[in-house]
Structure 1
């Protein structure tokens, strides 16, 4: 580990340096000594990055709006004072007079595209159409503290400038406040400077148009104070110099209230990021958190996302990635069979884990299987023989505990029944050793046409969005005796925002309401935004037999109605449930 820390050929490992106060020097020395002494008997290691601007340590094409040169060893958001906050945002133009017939010069996005060779135009003032009061409204897409607006005419040609203008700002478009007015412009480029103001919207009103020439505005630039709202730092690929089991990450820094810092990682078997690399892990903001990537792997890359909703910036001093050179299992191939099934068809699957061990591996004591839909375990086999195991099952995972550590080359088969409802259903497997219980290893899976071997792909399209709705017990008896006091409504929502890789995180409004037989509203059970989901098992919707006021309803037949919003006006499903005593 000593050699790794001082390796001058690796910019990630050689980036350790001392900043700020002597106390930090002392803490780093203590940390270094502890690692050096313990490394003789432990396979636990870490990579630490304490500078973010070393040449070759960051991806300049992907790193945006962060500052790492101002204060050595500190990563923070870039100042907004020299950044045009309007560039690339949204703009709207309103004409009080007849606009030009050429739509190419009436597109308001031309004034926020950062290009001096594009513009929007207003026709010269006439007696009947003076054009005063025409305006351009810019949405900064975030609340920013702004203090300066620049108006650049096309050319820049002084004859194309507005002859008089006003600037309004505000947090919404209904309560804009005038912060600047120039009743008689002289300069070619107009600069409006005013007291700092927290705003999202900037409105430039052209009070007077030239009667002789058109008014042509090339760019409107908005500047503020404090920091930019968001930025991203992306490292270059780091080399562990061998396959390792990545553990957790830690960071040293300050994240003031109203700001955020999140971290994501991805790993690969080769130094060039390609389709065989893992996707970016779920963003984590808490230090000492584990993250899910392909393991074991030799190469890793990380990204840090910073954001702020006020005048402060989060700051990152160090990032530490913990890893283990000893693995739970050296080599694994994980596959599921069958891999292609009709959507929303209950099927028994076999998840096969071909595990190859090295003498230094810790071995497998338990397995964690992520289940996109609730699953029922039907059997576990070790090298073709039924295995006696303990298990625990929840809505989103199956956990299997082996009586003895699996440490010899083995084929583990896990059989379970489930109903796939997503376009791609990943049954990700993690292996856990009791020796390093806080550092599981995500098992490997072959990639074929962009689909992992542990993923089930559904075929066909469900005729309905709401599928397999059931209610049980039915009837139920909410009399407080602890037996059938509530009923559970279960169903699947399919085909919403699928596949997510193409559509994104689109959601739809889901409502479940209870009515009596006269149509009188009784209870709203759920009203939320959702994507495709399995409302079964622990995710089922519960009714306790009470109305909106909390009173028990009278015995009788009731109707529960499920509604999901959709592009065709929505889909309803109604069924009955009986309350008895």
Structure 2
């Protein structure tokens, strides 16, 4: 299906409410014998499904691969459509109908995903309905049929029709306005980059131009309800304007211009580009008949915030989600956020309504939406009424669904074009709960005015679940200092026939484990012949493969010694088979053993204290003379408490305070860091013997710190 660039809005609008099938997928069932279970789905450039096909046709082919990466079968994925009329998650993006435009401002005219570019020559008022916008007025809002017809004239693209407002002054009534004094309101349907507003009367009716007016705007973040006929907590419609001659405008509006001395028949106002969703125009103390034939709004640049969200996809049974990767670009100053969520029921929410008892009882989605969107509804506690949204609740079904994942790191998820696609040596670890039958993902774009990020292709790696569940907990979950402590990590697998099983357990430790003390399966020590791999930020242990119901509930216990440097550090675990290490199943927090009651994989450390600790030079004196013995010094330090990555700067000085060498590290969070110095200055020359001072500097939201030490150079 091919859509010309100028037709993308029309075509997308025709199909937007169809179920959106996720891309293409491949699932090869594997039995308990540990057979090949690798699968993937993909969308975008070079895939069976383009982004526009997914959005418009609501379906997609899935592919089945063999171990060599060859396609051996094709089929169809099954989308699950659900009513999002009251989905406040999408409402936050400035949409109409809270979900009706989840893909509404994505440019799908090409194979890649990117935000829409606003052409400066396009009058955006003429296309408000395509974006879910409308024309209305303050106070009562839309008004009756005749009133609405008059309002529509200002945005119909026809300069021969107009919103004409007569003013009849009364000699018996002074000090008040006569005629129409409301705000004419345009909801653009989305927050757009706007820099120009223009209005004028009909040709040959120039005498009806507007000399006294107030022109205003509001962004999508303003607490304005999307339509006057609905109610939302913390939001409202535009106030009615008082008839007094000194009446003020609604304070929710940001006034661009207010004048009673305009002489321009055609008012054309330009201003620095700003995000705008609402445009308002009202007369100030009108003294004669006036009119507006067209109220035009123009902008330029990429739409600031857009989202591409799939419908929920049903993969038939729980599968293990392993990795996600993409092709695209994230130019400087822009941002792309890819997020996922998974579940094991068709719908991610639970709905309830307040009863006469004061308790909330479960209701279906349709009843929830009807009550939520009602301005008033019968109050079960009185004979009166109340706002509908106050009587219903919508909550994520946390027993069956995960929340939206944190945004995946864009660089970590980039496809490595130099590696074979089937190798999956690239990609980011899947963050949502797994195994899961249902999947949904979204891509959020944050461009600058002139530059936009893009996604050309998305792929996910998944396969048969290694177990129905892999439950784990760690003990202890509290430490009193940042020294190494001994931890016991217990995993309880729930296995059945059909699971592929696993013989490896990986535990993310953030810092290097100092000692791996023991590995047990079902209380029996695992022999030294099995894998025990200690890496800088994780450990991987091996054991005989656990597969099938006979191995269910066999606990795996790993005891190790490691420092914890960040409060709430989570020891995330993954179970996988050595036959296919890319298909990994995340360990869930829970009750893995009766010996502990933590039900947690996170460890708390002391709050506060120093950001930098354990600063030392190894050795304290070195001789960089090129003989291969003690030619370098290793400067080691701990960064504590940081959850976000920040730069660490290591600087070396001579005793006169002159900078000898500056070694800036890659940004990093809490952990143990090491930097080598070869005894040479910034010019690459060998430094003279003597004592040198080194400093480590960290600046973070928690504060800043500079620690120092010394090292000696001898020859």
Q: TM-score by structure 2 length?
A: 0.52
Q: Equivalents in 1 of 2:682, 2:406: separation in Å? A: 41
Moved more, 353-362 or 310-319: 310-319
Alpha carbons of 1:342 and 1:58: their partners in 2 closer, same or farther (altered >3 Å)? farther
Tell me which of 569, 588, 604 is aligned to 1:425: 569
Are 2:405 and 1:280 aligned?
A: yes
Give the conservation status (yes or no) of the 8 Å contact 1:45–1:322: no
- Identify if the C-alpha distance between structure 1 residues 452 and 231 changes in structure 2 by more than 3 Å, giving closer, same or farther: farther
> Which residue does the alignment assign to 1:438?
582
SS at match of 1:341: coil
- Greater displacement, 544-553 / 306-315: 306-315
* Equivalence for 1:477: 623
| 1:571 corresponding residue in structure 2 | 705
Which residue does the alignment assign to 2:664?
526
Contact 1:267-1:293 at 8 Å conserved across structures:
yes
Matched, 1:148 2:196: yes
8 Å contact from structure 1 (residues 390, 401) kept in 2 = yes
Q: In terms of mean alpha carbon deviation, does 146-155 or 541-550 score higher?
A: 146-155
Measured after TM superposition, the shift of residue 519 of structure 1 is 3.2
Q: Does 1:232 align with 2:307?
A: yes
How big is the shift at 1:515? 2.1
Q: Is the 8 A contact 1:362 1:435 kept in 2?
A: no
Q: 1:482 Cα shift?
A: 2.9
Determine which structure has greater relative contact order: mean sequence separation of CA pairs < 8 Å that are 6+ residues apart, divided by chain length: 2
- CA gap 1:452/1:473 in 2 versus in 1, 3 angstroms: farther
Residues 321 and 568 (structure 1 numbering): CA distance in 2 closer, same or farther, change over 3 Å?
closer
Match of 1:548 in 2: 682
1:542 to partner: Cα distance: 1.9
Provide structure 2 residue ranges, at least 5 long, that are not aligned to the other structure: 1-17, 25-42, 95-100, 126-136, 140-191, 199-212, 217-240, 248-258, 277-283, 285-295, 350-395, 416-423, 593-597
- SS of the residue corresponding to residue 62 of structure 1 reads helix
1:351 matched to 2:489? The reply is yes
- Number of the residue aligned with 1:191: 268
**Deviation larger for 375-384 or 279-288:** 279-288
Corresponding residue of 1:125? none
Summarize deviations over 1:193-225 as a string: whole Å, max 9, x none.
Answer: 59xx9x7899xxxxxxx9xxxxxxxxxx98423
Work out the CA distance in 2 between the residues paired with 1:509 and 1:318.
31
- Shift of the 255–557 alpha-carbon distance from structure 1 to 2, 3 Å rule, reads closer
Paired with 1:315 and 1:509, the residues of 2 have a C-alpha distance of: 27
291 and 476 in structure 1: CA distance in 2 versus 1, 3 angstrom threshold:
same
The residue number in structure 2 matching 1:558 is 692
* Deviates further, 513-522 or 568-577: 568-577
Q: 1:36-67, CA deviations, whole angstroms, 9 ceiling, x for partnerless residues?
A: 999xx999998477x9xx76479853333777
Q: What is the 5 A alignment of 1:14-33?
A: 32=61
Q: Which residue of 2 aligns with 1:342?
A: 480
Task: Check the 8 A contact 2:335/2:447 in 1, yes or no.
Answer: yes
Match of 1:265 among 324, 340, 353: 340
2:622 is paired with a residue whose SS is coil
- For residues 394 and 250 of structure 1, do their structure 2 counterparts lie closer, same or farther at Cα, with a shift above 3 Å needed? closer
Corresponding residue for residue 395 of structure 1: 536
**Contact 2:103 / 2:308 at 8 angstroms: preserved in 1?**
no
Q: Hey, what does 1:110 align to over in structure 2?
A: none
CA distance 1:328–1:516, change in 2 (3 Å): same
CA distance in 2, matches of 1:479, 1:386: 48
For the 8 Å contact 2:511–2:564, the answer to whether it is kept is yes
Partner Cα separation in structure 1 for residue 331 and residue 608 of structure 2: 46
Partner residue of 1:107? none
Q: Is the 8 A contact 2:66 2:72 kept in 1?
A: no
From the superposition, tell whether residues 342 and 524 of structure 1 become closer, same or farther in structure 2 (CA, over 3 Å). Answer: same
Alignment pair present for 1:486 and 2:632: yes
* Deviation of 1:367 (Å): 2.1
Contact 1:510 1:564 in 2 (8 A): yes
Q: Taking structure 1 as reference, are residues 233 and 575 closer, same or farther at Cα in structure 2, changes over 3 Å only?
A: same
SS in 2 for 1:577: strand
Deviation at 1:371?
1.6
Root-mean-square deviation over aligned CA pairs: 5.2
Q: Is the 8 A contact 1:12 1:57 kept in 2?
A: no
| Structure 1 residues 580 and 43: alpha-carbon distance in aligned structure 2, compared to 1, 3 A threshold | farther
| Structure 2 equivalent of residue 365 of structure 1 | 503
1:156–1:188 Cα contact (<8 Å) kept: no
CA deviation profile, 1:267-296 (whole Å, cap 9, x unmatched): 245533355625505425546845232222
CA shift, 1:310, in A, is 6.2
1:245 aligns with 2:310: no
After superposition, the Cα gap between the structure-2 partners of 1:48 and 1:455, relative to the gap in structure 1 and judged at 3 Å, is: same
State the TM-score, normalizing by the size of structure 1.
Answer: 0.62
Report the alpha carbon displacement of residue 343 of structure 1 after superposing the two structures with TM. Answer: 3.7
Alpha-carbon shift at residue 145 of structure 1 (Å): 7.6
> Is residue 604 of structure 2 the alignment partner of residue 457 of structure 1?
yes
Answer yes or no: is the 8 Å Cα contact 2:471–2:491 preserved in 1: yes
Which residue is equivalent to 1:304?
A: 443
Q: Determine the C-alpha separation between the residues in 2 that align with 1:77 and 1:357.
A: 45
In the alignment, the residues of structure 1 paired with residue 456 and residue 654 of structure 2 have an alpha-carbon distance, to the nearest angstrom, of 61
Judging changes above 3 Å, is the alpha-carbon distance between structure 1 residues 250 and 347 closer, same or farther for their aligned structure 2 residues? closer
> CA–CA distance in 1 between the matches of 2:65 and 2:664?
56
Going from structure 1 to structure 2, the CA distance change for 1:46 and 1:458 (only over 3 Å counts) comes to: farther
1:348-376 per-position Cα deviation (integer Å, ceiling 9, x unaligned): 11111112321212121322221222223
**CA shift digits 1:285-343 (9 cap, x unpaired):** 5468452322222343322112434667677798665543x311222221111111124
**Distance in 1 of aligned mates of 2:522 and 2:49:** 54
Alignment partner of 2:629: what SS? coil
d(CA) in 1 for partners of 2:662, 2:66 = 62
Q: Distance in 2 between matches of 1:191 and 1:228?
A: 23
* Structure 2 Cα separation of the partners of residues 72 and 567 of structure 1: 37
Change (3 A) 1:521 1:240: same
Judged with a 3 Å threshold, the aligned counterparts in structure 2 of structure 1 residues 557 and 426 are, in CA distance, closer, same or farther, namely same
Check conservation: 2:531, 2:541, Cα contact below 8 A. Answer: yes
